[in-house]
Structure 1
């Protein structure tokens, strides 16, 4: 029988450990997102040499950046399951943050394509220790009454960090070298790598001092950690957590199509890089603004209505990007696509958290985080391959995925909160 949780409408509260963890993720997010901007500049700076495996600079840059996402997503189920087995979250988070700090400083001496590839790959593995354990810890520190809100707060802080890094990374590099006491100086690239190292170290200290594992996690270590594909209760065909993972994969692929086709977007809309930056940021702005209020709302009105409505809204907001001819309209489309994603992400994590038993959060929630990571990696590769067939083709592809995702969550995902207030949204029962 699928677990349905009955709950009241207690005032929203955030555990101080969730706030500390959110702050730590914001700090490491700043440093990690720094590298998204800095690494391509570093590769094309003339500093990097050695074998590029016969690939051009742009292609090897894409490989270096994408290896992070693929390794990160591939290792998440293993680290999530292991943290469940051991009944510990904090040590996994600390291992990941330590790995980030060490690999960030390693960029200072990395001057070959192979070394950059190895370092970025190790960073992907390091973050695979952080994400499932962090989300599982938030889930276990929250209650049914405030799980969505806590997930929203955590994601909001993380996204603030992710959005802030690229905003200043280019300036840090371009304004170098920087003079130091004693007549020494550091290049702009070295300064950026040092900043990334410092942010990871700050995160490590915050988690060490302010975050602890709840006793229930240790007590329930080693529970049933299997991830079924078919629904064991028989009420639907597919397991709801698996279904949410597939929907997250489709959603992430659709929203990531935009990132790698900047020249095509700018040429079609006859705009400069400033407009593209604003359009790219519009998605993150919507996420930052809405993650927490939507998370809190899904604690009151239920998870499923928001997830279904978000997936439905993803369909037109993805498709229209392939047809608009105005920079302003593209900005609006990206903004509403961000709203759609915000309606899906925190409620999906909350619903999966409702269904996860004691000691299973790492395994169950890693299905969603892994799927989202794969989508973020697949999206840019898909748009790069498909845009050659026409500007609209990548967005039509993303729209088809969004349609399938909406159908899946509408037919295969049931509400986990027994008593919910009435809210007139698509897919509510």
Structure 2
């Protein structure tokens, strides 16, 4: 099996373990994103009973889905720091994947609102074991010369899985029930939960067989793991990793504004659900297409130029969405917003990885992954509240955040990589 992986890894120019980990995250991403579509359908199907705490279906659905993000982001700094202290990444990833597989299977027996909340909450905690340690492991298996490319490949595979799940989840539910050998029949919902369980289990097997910790991680366990807010070097006011975390929070909030206001978008553009789905997918298409080439480019030309340019490009691509009246133009705006985010994400992780000392990757990179997770949770909540004051208001809010993030990155983050080609890029020193 290792020889097969070695042949597959050659075109990507990354460590074999990075590609295996990326494939594992793609598999669990398919199953996890399945649930974003399936859980709302499950709640409204009439199958779920018990007390709803006096809340309507839409509120319960929002609570169930947001609980995952809140717990996931909240626990990441602790799991990242603990993995640094122990000098191990792989055991944490396996614990998270095992928890994800078990909780996916538990949905089959979750027939009350309380049980759904408990299962989804446990999933959030499980994934908190996976995200910071996976990114830290990618960072430690890379070098300064190829860190951006490794981060790009990892994120590309992860996003492919995240984008593929919702595309087929609804069909799996609607085509049920399914007749199995032995006159066994399972519902479309149970089939979706079993598929999610299988993908998480597949990820567990891939990591077990093909992924190992970096030797340097074990050797440097227990380093100084504090995350300062002020810049210790005295060069700038704020610590660069903390600054990148704030910028990631602002960026994620801006890009997540779109998801919650589907009825308002469709009404304004006089379009149906198909157009909205295409517009939503445009962002992911840009991410999947550009993460790897941008990651490799930042290995050649530096991290900071891409991060600054991406944050600046995020300003107009977010603002214009509040004033668009054409479905086609909205699709293009989302596509360009995805390009802006792709210019920020992999280079930011690579720059934070450059700054992380030996044995600190889990703690340092968890700042960015936690901030991004909080932003993805805050964006839909913000747009749901602000859209009542006018369609453009959420996007103006996101534009202000993007502008603040641009200023922070431009003034507080220095380049960590000596460019191999002196190409003047916007925002470079």
Q: TM-score, normalization: structure 2?
A: 0.97
Q: Alpha-carbon deviation of 1:418?
A: 2.4
Mapped partners of 1:318, 1:312: distance in 2: 10
Give the stretch that moved more between structures: 79-88 or 413-422.
Answer: 413-422
Mapped partners of 2:423, 2:288: distance in 1: 23
Query: Residue deviations 1:311-332, cap 9 Å, x none?
Result: 0000000000000000000000
Structure 1 equivalent of residue 179 of structure 2: 179
Counterparts in 2 of 1:253-292, with a 5 A limit? Answer: 253-292=253-292
RMSD after superposition: 0.9
Gaps (5+ residues) in structure 1? 1-10
Structure 2 equivalent of residue 147 of structure 1: 147
Q: Alpha-carbon deviation of 1:374?
A: 0.2
Query: Residue deviations 1:148-186, cap 9 Å, x none?
Result: 000000000000000000000000000000000111110
Structure 2 equivalent of residue 95 of structure 1: 95
Structure 1 equivalent of residue 106 of structure 2: 106
Counterparts in 2 of 1:220-299, with a 5 A limit? Answer: 220-299=220-299
Q: Alpha-carbon deviation of 1:420?
A: 3.8
Mapped partners of 1:361, 1:214: distance in 2: 12
Counterparts in 2 of 1:371-382, with a 5 A limit? Answer: 371-382=371-382
Mapped partners of 1:340, 1:114: distance in 2: 39
Mapped partners of 1:217, 1:25: distance in 2: 21
Q: Alpha-carbon deviation of 1:428?
A: 1.1
Mapped partners of 2:420, 2:55: distance in 1: 55
Q: Is the 8 A contact 2:12 2:153 kept in 1?
A: no
* SS of equivalent to 1:55: coil
Counterparts in 2 of 1:408-419, with a 5 A limit? Answer: 408-419=408-419
Structure 2 equivalent of residue 64 of structure 1: 64
Q: Is the 8 A contact 1:12 1:146 kept in 2?
A: no
Q: Is the 8 A contact 2:18 2:150 kept in 1?
A: yes
User: Which runs of structure 1 show a deviation greater than 6 angstroms over 4 or more consecutive aligned residues?
Assistant: none
Structure 1 equivalent of residue 404 of structure 2: 404
Q: Is the 8 A contact 1:34 1:169 kept in 2?
A: yes
Q: TM-score, normalization: structure 1?
A: 0.97
Mapped partners of 1:13, 1:194: distance in 2: 34
Query: Residue deviations 1:267-291, cap 9 Å, x none?
Result: 0000000000000000000000000
Q: Alpha-carbon deviation of 1:198?
A: 0.0
Q: Alpha-carbon deviation of 1:245?
A: 0.1
Mapped partners of 2:420, 2:41: distance in 1: 50
Structure 1 equivalent of residue 50 of structure 2: 50
Mapped partners of 1:394, 1:51: distance in 2: 33
Total equivalences in the alignment: 419
Q: Alpha-carbon deviation of 1:213?
A: 0.4
Counterparts in 2 of 1:178-217, with a 5 A limit? Answer: 178-217=178-217
Q: Alpha-carbon deviation of 1:12?
A: 7.7
Distance 1:267-1:253 versus aligned 2 partners, 3 A rule = same
Mapped partners of 2:258, 2:419: distance in 1: 39
Mapped partners of 1:66, 1:12: distance in 2: 35
Q: Alpha-carbon deviation of 1:61?
A: 0.3
Mapped partners of 2:349, 2:296: distance in 1: 13
Structure 2 equivalent of residue 23 of structure 1: 23
